[in-house]
Amino acid sequence: MTLVQTKTITEFETHLFHEGTYFESYRKFGAHLSNEKGTVGTRFTVWAPNAKKIEIVGSFNDWHGEQYAMNKITTSGIWSLFIPEVTEGELYKYKIYPEGGGEPLLKADPYAFYSEKRPKSASIVYSLEGYNWGDREWQRKKRRENILKKPVSIYEVHLGSWKKTEDGDFLSYRELAHDLVDYVKEMGYTHIELLPVVEHPFDRSWGYQATGYFSVTSRYGTPKDFMYFVDRCHQEGIGVILDWNPCHFCRDGHGLRLFDGAPVFEYQDPHRAENTEWDTNNFDLGKPEVISFLVSNAFFWFDLFHIDGLRVDAVSSILYMDYGKEDGEEWLPNKYGGRENLEGLNFLRTLNEAVFERFPNVMMVAEESTSWPLVSKPTYSGGLGFNFKWNMGWMNDMLEYMKKDPIHRKHHHQNITFSFLYAFSENFVLPLSHDEVVHSKRSLLNKMPGDYWQKFANLRVLLGYQMGHPGKKLLFMGGELGQFDEWKDLEQLDWNLLQFEFHWKMRQYCRQLNQLYTTEPALYEQDHTSKGFEWIDPHDHSQSIISFIRWGYNFQDHLIIVCNFTPQVYHGYRIGVPKDVSYKEIFNSDAEEYGGSGILNSDELQPHEVEWHHRPYSIELNIPPLATFILKPLAAREEN
Catalytic residues: 313, 367
Helix, strand, coil: what percent of the chain each, to 5? 30, 25, 45
Alpha helix segments (H runs only) across 268-380: 270-273, 288-305, 315-319, 342-358
Amino acid letter, residue 93: K
Q: ω before 119 within 30° of 0 (cis)?
A: yes
Q: How many CB atoms lie within 10 A of CB 578?
A: 17
C-beta of residue 360 within 8 angstroms of C-beta of residue 339? no
Residue 496: Cβ within 10 Å count: 10
Q: Integer distance in angstroms from the first to the last C-alpha of the chain?
A: 75
User: Which helix (H) or strand (E) element contains residue 246?
Assistant: none
Which residues contact residue 182 at a Cβ distance below 8 angstroms, ignoring those fewer than 6 apart? 236
CA distances from 130 to 133, 227, 306, 544, 628 (A): 9, 11, 14, 58, 50
Question: What strand order describes the sheet that includes 248-249?
Answer: 248-249, 280-282, 274-275
Type and span of the H or E element at 411: none
Phi and psi at residue 610, to the nearest 5°: -120, 115
The C-alpha atoms of residue 39 and residue 29 are separated, in whole angstroms, by 20
With 0-12 / 13-18 / 19 or more C-beta atoms within 10 angstroms meaning exposed / middle / buried, residue 270 is exposed
245: buried, middle or exposed (CB in 10 Å: 19+, 13-18, 0-12)? buried
The pair phi, psi for residue 327, each rounded to 5°, is: -55, 130
DSSP string, 447-512: HS-SSHHHHHHHHHHHHHHHHHSSSEEEEETTGGGT-SSPP-TTS---GGGGGSHHHHHHHHHHHH
